[in-house]
Amino acid sequence: MGVWQREIKILLLWLLVISILGVITGLFLPLLFLLTLGLLIRQVIQVTRFESWVSMGGKSRYPKTKGIWEEIYYHVYRIKKNEKRRKKKLSKIIDQFRQSTEALPDAAVVLGANDEIEWANKAAREVLGLQQSDKGQRIPNLIRFPEFIRYLRVGDYNESVTLPSPVNNRIILSVRIIAYGPGLRLLLAQDVTQLKKMERMRKDFVANVSHELRTPLTVLKGYLETLSDMDNGDSPLLTGSVQQMQGQTERMQHLVDDLLLLTHLETNQRKSECVDVPALLSQICNEGDVLQHVYKGRIQLTLEIDSHIFGEAHELRSAFTNLLGNALKYSPDNSVVKVRWYRSESSILLEVEDQGEGIGPADIPRVTERFYRVEVKRSKKVMGTGLGLAIVKHVLMRHDAVLNISSELGKGSCFRCCFPLSRQCG
Ligand code: ADP
């Protein structure tokens, strides 16, 4: 039987008793009043007991009672017990999480909405020099590198920022912030000293080798020119060999030049100025540039805007020449290559469009990698180093610009350099 049914049954029983007694004594109404009063007092006592039990936290076993009140006590007691179990489980998980993050080799700091430190692990105390007492302090007051403060302020956390450790400037840290909840962020700092060291060694090695190859190459080219001048055509073998060697030294010269340019882009500070891009494009496309000489009449230049770009003219020239060179190289000799300088709502763009062989979807993301060349059976032999688009990507990165490539095999390609409007200077 349900509790409510039992309660109602008891109430009805009381009413029956009162009615019988009322009929016998003729005092039905006073007896009914007494019954109601008794029931009310009982409920008030129960509510008071319940209130004092709940206000004590409802932790102890509930007082002995009967009927609906026992049911209420039991439900509240069960909810409290479950909650306690859940809390215990949760705090165990939190403890485990804290222990594991404490043992992490990377520094981890939890930041609040106002950049204040809420929690930091052992590695953070070691490499970032944070103390236990720094809890609640704003992190930009403790790590004062301008690039870090800018990173924190701008709030674009897709990239990481590289800084020296505030406690030992020989340790290089890659710092990244991850937003994970309303106003909450996790700062992770990884020691990348070895990685940076190796990267530097690689750059130095490539730069040194490229530089050292220049002199022997010049000597070789010189002798090959002399040999070519001396060749009177008597020996087809000699003529062919000299031509082959000249072609290969030319290719090597391009490789060395491209490698040196890439090293320069990776290491050197640029000297920015306001670059007259329309004039630069006209020069590359029309005014007797090397490209024009070979590919006469194929380039269609449209200058829709006169915008100048704040940047490095020499670097931009290299990037644009590479894009144009590729468009001409990888398309039929009689096809048109369209070059367009224009503006959209959010960018200033250079577009180089060809009707050439195109690039497959799987190759598009890879063509800007160093030395990546798409393997295609072509009717004509196309010379290249595989470094051109890597140079373009680097140059654009140094100008806060991005390269968009859209292409369809057999139809053609479109390379778009998108400069932010903030780069416009004239
Ligand atoms: P490469 O010296 O080989 O031209 P790049 O880095 O400039 O080196 O280009 C990488 C590869 O991307 C090229 O080998 C070519 O396969 C492909 N590629 C570049 N531009 C084009 C284009 N306009 N049309 C088709 N394929 C292209």
Predicted confidence (pLDDT) per residue in 171-212, tens digit: 999 999 999 878 789 999 999 999 999 999 998 898 899 989
Q: What integer pLDDT is reported at residue 148 of this predicted model?
A: 93
* Same domain assignment for residues 397 and 289: yes
Best residue among 295, 323, 339, 373 to mutate for probing ligand 1's pocket (most ligand atoms within 8 Å of CB) is 373
Residues 6+ apart with CB under 8 A from 346: 420, 421
Q: What's the CATH code of the domain at 407? A: 3.30.565.10
Residues 6+ apart with CB under 8 A from 170: 164, 193
296 — pLDDT class (breaks 50, 70, 90): low
How many separate domains does the chain show? 4
Average pLDDT for 41-63:
85
pLDDT 10s digits, 65-101: 888 888 888 888 889 889 989 999 999 998 998 888 8
User: From edge to edge, which strands make up the β-sheet containing 161-164?
Assistant: 117-120, 107-111, 184-191, 172-181, 161-164
Q: In percent, how much of the chain has pLDDT > 70?
A: 97
Nearest CA to ligand 1 atom 13: 373
**pLDDT at residue 286 is higher than 80:** no
* Same domain assignment for residues 350 and 220: no
Q: Which ligand 1 atom sits closest to the C-alpha of 331?
A: 24
Instruction: Decide which of 381 and 47 is more confident.
Output: 47
* Same domain assignment for residues 187 and 214: no
Nearest to 308 by CA among 280, 289, 346, 286: 280
Domain boundary among 97, 128, 148: 97
List 183's β-bridge partners, or say none: none
List 387's β-bridge partners, or say none: none
* Same domain assignment for residues 220 and 88: no
Q: Is the CB of 386 within 6 Å of ligand 1?
A: yes
Average pLDDT for 4-22:
89
Q: What's the CATH code of the domain at 158? A: 3.30.450.20
* Same domain assignment for residues 237 and 298: no
* Same domain assignment for residues 322 and 369: yes
Average pLDDT for 33-47:
91
Average pLDDT for 107-124:
91
Nearest CA to ligand 1 atom 12: 367
Lowest mean pLDDT segment, chosen from 41-45, 47-51, 106-110, 265-269: 265-269
* Same domain assignment for residues 65 and 132: no
Nearest CA to ligand 1 atom 11: 373
Q: Is the CB of 330 within 6 Å of ligand 1?
A: yes
* Same domain assignment for residues 393 and 297: yes
CA of 373 to the centre of ligand 1 (A): 6
Q: How many residues does the chain have?
A: 426
Domain boundary among 64, 97, 130: 97
Lowest mean pLDDT segment, chosen from 133-147, 153-167, 268-282, 367-381: 367-381
CA of 364 to the centre of ligand 1 (A): 10
* Same domain assignment for residues 23 and 35: yes
Q: Give pTM, 2 decimals.
A: 0.67
Domain hosting 11: range is 2-97
* Same domain assignment for residues 284 and 250: no
Q: Is the CB of 354 within 6 Å of ligand 1?
A: yes
Best residue among 253, 259, 265, 330 to mutate for probing ligand 1's pocket (most ligand atoms within 8 Å of CB) is 330
Q: What integer pLDDT is reported at residue 271 of this predicted model?
A: 80
Q: Which ligand 1 atom sits closest to the C-alpha of 254?
A: 2
pLDDT 10s digits, 407-423: 999 999 999 999 999 99
**pLDDT at residue 250 is higher than 60:** yes
3-state secondary structure the chain: CCHHHHHHHHHHHHHHHHHHHHHHHCCHHHHHHHHHHHHHHHHHHHHHHHHHHHHCCCCCCCCCCCHHHHHHHHHHHHHHHHHHHHHHHHHHHHHHHHHHHHCCCCEEEEECCCCEEEEECHHHHHHCCCCHHHCCCEHHHCCCCHHHHHHHHHCCCCCCEEEECCCCCCCEEEEEEEEEECCEEEEEEEECHHHHHHHHHHHHHHHHHHHHHHHHHHHHHHHHHHHHHHCCCCCHHHHHHHHHHHHHHHHHHHHHHHHHHHHHHHHCCCCCEEECHHHHHHHHHCCCCHHHHHCCCCEEEEECCCCCEEECHHHHHHHHHHHHHHHHHCCCCCCCEEEEEEECCCEEEEEEECCCCCCCCCCHHHCCCCCCCCCCCCCCCCCCCCCHHHHHHHHHHHCCCEEEEEEECCCEEEEEEEEEHHHECC
Q: What integer pLDDT is reported at residue 181 of this predicted model?
A: 78
Average pLDDT, the chain: 90
Q: Is the CB of 165 within 6 Å of ligand 1?
A: no
* Same domain assignment for residues 305 and 402: yes
Domain boundary among 46, 79, 97: 97
Q: What integer pLDDT is reported at residue 294 of this predicted model?
A: 63
Query: Strand 299-303 to strand 337-343: parallel, antiparallel, or no bridges (unpaired)?
Result: parallel
Q: Is the CB of 367 within 6 Å of ligand 1?
A: yes
Average pLDDT for 223-251:
90
Nearest CA to ligand 1 atom 7: 388
308 — pLDDT class (breaks 50, 70, 90): very high
CA of 11 to the centre of ligand 1 (A): 93
268 — pLDDT class (breaks 50, 70, 90): confident
CA distance linking residue 306 with residue 290, whole number of Å: 24
Q: Is the CB of 324 within 6 Å of ligand 1?
A: no
**pLDDT at residue 367 is higher than 80:** yes
383 — pLDDT class (breaks 50, 70, 90): confident
Instruction: Give the end-to-end CA distance of the chain in Å, rounded to a whole number.
Output: 89
Q: What's the CATH code of the domain at 241? A: 1.10.287.130
Best residue among 324, 376, 389, 404 to mutate for probing ligand 1's pocket (most ligand atoms within 8 Å of CB) is 389
**pLDDT at residue 288 is higher than 60:** no
The amino acid occupying position 315 is: E
390 — pLDDT class (breaks 50, 70, 90): very high
297 — pLDDT class (breaks 50, 70, 90): confident
Q: Is the CB of 384 within 6 Å of ligand 1?
A: yes
Q: Which two tokens stand for residue 176?
A: 């990244």
Q: Which ligand 1 atom sits closest to the C-alpha of 368?
A: 6
* Same domain assignment for residues 49 and 73: yes
